[in-house]
Structure 1
């Protein structure tokens, strides 16, 4: 496997963060959290369960986000999910010690998407939503991009075969109880 340089990883992570911040505006992620069935179970991943205060340090190294001690961003310790080595270990966001989001990036090759879809289905049950959107590269080529979503009482997990780059797939959990957004600093 070729080594990925730190600049590529940084660009990829920034792209994912942009994707996460704009995901609610995308048509492929249009389901409202208000419509999630209250009989569903909370999301859990590795040793974290959404909706419950937890020690974020048990999943990774954590740093305060935007100077707010209630917001933590953690880089996961374990870079493997469903037997697949991830390009970036899971990243977790917490607000007041509760999980607000999680994502990981995986190499988009072979049966990786199917492996994650099968593993998530075994753990969480069938996806509540399956769709195929179109993904277009900078040269104009159009590819099918399967996207599966699992619904929980606390939010939803979305698995995409193609993330922000054709070489990478993406899994994102977004909690319905996310941290409040910081107000823009007006210093002019």
Structure 2
């Protein structure tokens, strides 16, 4: 009798352990989408394609460190509202990032257009901002996650609260380790 009770207990415990192991396994997250903007796809669209085929960039110039090329967008608006300043960057001749400045008054209009284009943000934050005169502003920030970076839209720029800022920042791979050599000392 004691043996049968022990076997029942072992069987029940094994079933409980099996159930807890399967329920503890987190679901596999869906892969993140590629970031695309005005026909340019991050890490894929070349400078030549953006300039010659899409005809979306002009006045390209190398960055000061000559690692990237910065270009202005041609005749550009965002969701039918003016853009105050903008540039896109190309690293290794491929679209890698952008910065757009818009009026903070258009933030709500633009956030709706961005949600329509990219879905709900993966992260939303709000922290109060205050200028040197004590005026306070809403520091709303929405971030969309993509396979090669993040798109962040801030209601107010830190250095100019009258403007909003839309930034696609690539996720940079770690720099390859340089092999050790006596010459590098």
1:59 is matched with: 56
Is residue 42–residue 95 contact of structure 2 (8 Å, CA) maintained in 1? yes
Deviation digits for residues 118-160 of structure 1 (CA, Å, limit 9, x no counterpart): 1111111100001111211111222221110011111001111
- Which residue, out of 56, 72, 85, partners 2:82? 85
C-alpha separation between the residues in 1 aligned to 2:95 and 2:172? 9
- Structure 2, unmatched stretches of 5+, are 1-28, 176-185
- Which residue, out of 137, 146, 149, partners 2:143? 149
Q: What count of residue pairs does the alignment treat as equivalent?
A: 140
Is residue 99–residue 175 contact of structure 1 (8 Å, CA) maintained in 2? no
- Structure 1, unmatched stretches of 5+, are 1-36, 181-188
Is residue 140–residue 154 contact of structure 2 (8 Å, CA) maintained in 1? yes
Task: After TM superposition, give the deviation of residue 79 of structure 1 in Å.
Answer: 2.5
CA RMSD of aligned residues (A): 2.1
Does the residue aligned with 1:117 lie in a helix, a strand or coil?
helix
TM-score if structure 2 supplies the norm length?
Answer: 0.69
TM-score if structure 1 supplies the norm length?
Answer: 0.68
Task: After TM superposition, give the deviation of residue 47 of structure 1 in Å.
Answer: 2.2
Which structure has the larger Rg?
2
2:122 is matched with: 128
The answer to which of 59-68 and 156-165 deviates more is: 59-68
Say if 1:38 and 1:73 are closer, same or farther in 2 by CA, change over 3 A: farther
- Which residue, out of 139, 162, 166, partners 2:133? 139
C-alpha separation between the residues in 2 aligned to 1:38 and 1:77? 35
